[in-house]
Amino acid sequence: MRAEYVVGEAATNLRRNVLLVLGAILAVFVSLFMTYMALVVNEVGRNSAARWQEGITIIAWLDDGDLAGHTLITNEVNSWEEVERALYVGKAEAWQEFQAMFADNPALVEEVDPAAMPASVRVELTDNETHTAVVARLGSIGGVDGVVEASDAVEDTLEASRLLNTGGIVLGVALGLSAVVMISNTVRMAIYARREEISIMKLVGASNWFVRTPFLVEGLIEGLVGGALAVLAGWFGYRWFISNLDLGIIDTQVPDSFLLSRGLIVLAFGAVAGAVGSLVGLRRYLQESR
Amino acid sequence: MIRLQGVSKVYDGSTVAIRDATAGIQKGEFIFLVGPSGSGKSTLIRLLMREEKPTDGEIWVAGRNIAELPDWKVPYLRRSVGTVFQDFKLLPNKTVFQNVAFALEVIGRPRGMVVQQVPKVLKLVGLASKAERLPRQLSGGEQQRVSIARAFVNRPLILLADEPTGNLDPATSVGIMRLLDRINRTGTTVVMATHDHAIVDAMRRRVIQLERGRIVRDEPRGVYEGPSPATAATDLDGPAFVESNGQQGAEPVVEPVEDAVVAPGDADEG
């Protein structure tokens, strides 16, 4: 079977039902665009949360003790088995961090006395289950001024991105099913339009795959075009919109390599939707005949 | 070439189309299947091309029991069985050449073979000069010649014809029969279901007569004989049924161009 024959027949099918075909492509596009965006937003959430915390979920502010006392506390916390690592941040580092954080507000930086910056111990847990217990224990140590749980903000961010992600995937799947139905309908219409030809093909002994392949290719093309449009729209939508959003602590940057790899997955989804759709359409037809 | 062994076909569990039919057909034979509408002629043709499966019995075609043939192998059976119908079944938007070439293309024959074989077979059916016409620009007889060319271009072992002259006037029918006879002389087994007394009586070939699904007569060099003219006249075998009028053998030199009122679909016998 020549490739040009198959592609030519598929192209004829596509031309014959332009509106239906556009509908099918649109359905694939919307569904895969949702899915693609959900993947990107999820990555943005995960990324920013990860970068902000770098694993650290608890900060214990220390009173104005000396370095030796601070080191003692840090070492003690480090020895707890719930603690993956305890990082000491001295006054000088805290000052640098403060300056960086409020770089766009020099007046504020001017106001603050570097000496007033508290030192802290930043704690990464081995297991977040022990969170509450560790917070309580840190609070009971002499020399600890107060305990801040960085996790609240992080959890919120993660939660939001999870919701967006789940919602996006659920919607994407639901729309994906409708896309499959749309594709199977266009294939069915194409089969109907060519029923005379098909009956003669079967009469003179064309093999089943010879009859089916052009319709399979038609569905594949619809799925792939819809998928490609979704990836393009998602990519530029991200670059022009999401990556330019200023969400404060949330870092909205994701690397091109991520966009590309997920784009390819989305494209593969499109191909699968196309193949499944046309197989569903063909299945019905094959049951009707013979 | 063909052997029926106790073949029965029952539709919907109650309508019996073929009852316990047994017959053998040799390679190169020319068979007329005769009998009134509903006697099972068309069903038999459909069984032979595996459009239908028998309810019971064995159908051997070219050494294979096609009652047991898996669906995916049916296309390969069809390549050795050509079929011709009353309503021609040509593709209206393809030319004569393309209609015939289609039969080779869809079974994956190379282009070289197509351009070599199609003109040859068009010449055989006498349409070499009309290769670029569309079916609607042809008379009914010419259209049937195209469909015969399409059925024969792949050199099938067997040619099945279901009322091939059913839509044609007697004079045109004679031309079609001469063509089928020529094809038969190349060694192709021809099985033709027909109502046409004149043709059957003129050709004197083996006649298998069906009556309510039973083979009631199997006679070499037979005549139509079967139903009385009165029975045939009440036949509801489609609008284009042409009653025998004794014109057989009088083939005109120039085939008359008729308006070819073709009514595909509504001439289907049960």
Q: Closest CB to B75: pick one of A197, A199, A205.
A: A205
Cβ of B72 within 8 Å of Cβ of A202? The answer is no
Chain A residues near residue B109 by CB distance under 8 angstroms? none
CB-CB contact of A165 with A175 (8 Å):
no
Contact by Cβ (8 Å): A28, A273: yes
What confidence score (pLDDT) does residue A227 get? Answer: 95
d(CA B77, CA A204): 9
Of residues A10, A41, A255, the one with CA closest to residue A167 = A41
Structure tokens at B98: 């393309």
Q: Do B106 and A196 touch (CB under 8 A)?
A: no
Residue of A nearest to B147 (CA): A200
Tell whether B51 is within 8 A of chain A (Cβ). Answer: yes
* Beta strands across the sheet bearing B64-65: B15-25, B2-11, B56-61, B64-65
What is the value of pTM for the model shown?
A: 0.68
DSSP per position, chain B = -EEEEEEEEEETTTEEEEEEEEEEE-TT-EEEEE--TTSSHHHHHHHHTTSS--SEEEEEETTEETTS--GGGHHHHHTTEEEEETT----TTS-HHHHHHHHHHTTT--HHHHHHHHHHHHHHTT-GGGTT--GGGS-HHHHHHHHHHHHHTT--SEEEEESTTTTS-HHHHHHHHHHHHHHHHTT-EEEEE---HHHHHHH--EEEEEETTEEEEEETT----SS-HHHHHT--S-TT-----S-TT---SSPPP------TTTT---
pLDDT digit string (tens) for B132-172? 999 999 999 999 999 999 999 999 999 999 999 999 999 99
- Is B107 close to A199, i.e. CB distance below 8 A? no
Interface touch A210/B150, C-beta < 8 Å: no
ipTM: 0.76
What is the model's pLDDT at position A26? 93
Picking from A16, A200, A209, A290 by the largest number of B CB atoms within 10 A of its own CB, the best residue to mutate is A200
Residues of A with CB under 8 A from a CB of B: 1, 5, 196-197, 199-208, 210-211, 290
Interface contact flag, B107 A205, Cβ < 8 Å: yes
Name which of B182, B210, B48 is nearest B126 in CA terms.
B182
Q: Cα(A27)–Cα(A81) distance, rounded to whole angstroms?
A: 53
Q: Which of residues 142-181 of B touch A (CB under 8 A)?
A: 150-151, 154
pLDDT at position A164: 76
Q: How confident is the model at residue A169 (pLDDT cuts 50, 70, 90)?
A: confident
Cα of A127 to nearest chain B Cα, Å: 60
- Determine the Cα–Cα distance for residues B205 and B220; give it in Å rounded to an integer: 6
Q: Which residue of B has its CA nearest to A3?
A: B108
CA distance B91 to A211: 16
Tell if the CB–CB gap between B154 and A206 is shorter than 8 Å: no
Contact A222, A24 (CB under 8 A): yes
Amino acid B233: pLDDT = 43
Q: Is B103 on the interface with A (CB under 8 A)?
A: yes
Pairing of strands B81-85, B158-162: parallel
Measure in Å the smallest separation between the Cα of B96 and chain A Cα atoms.
14
B102/A202 CB distance under 8 A: no
- Cβ contacts below 8 Å, chain A against chain B, sum to 54
Sites in chain B below the pLDDT cut of 50: 227-270
**Residue A146 bridge partners (DSSP):** A61
DSSP label of A141 = S
Average pLDDT value over all residues in chain A: 82
3-state secondary structure of A254: coil
Interface contact B110, partner A, CB < 8 A: no
Most confident of A46-60, A152-166, A252-266: A252-266
User: Are the Cβ atoms of B103 and A197 closer than 8 angstroms?
Assistant: no
* Contact (Cβ atoms closer than 8 angstroms) between residue B176 and residue B144: yes
Which amino acid appears at position A186 of this protein?
Answer: T
Q: Is the pLDDT of residue A57 over 60?
A: yes
Q: Does B53 touch chain A (CB under 8 A)?
A: no
Lay out the sheet containing B189-193: strands in order across.
B81-85, B158-162, B189-193, B30-34, B206-211, B214-219
Q: Are A1 and A213 in contact (CB under 8 A)?
A: yes
DSSP A103: T
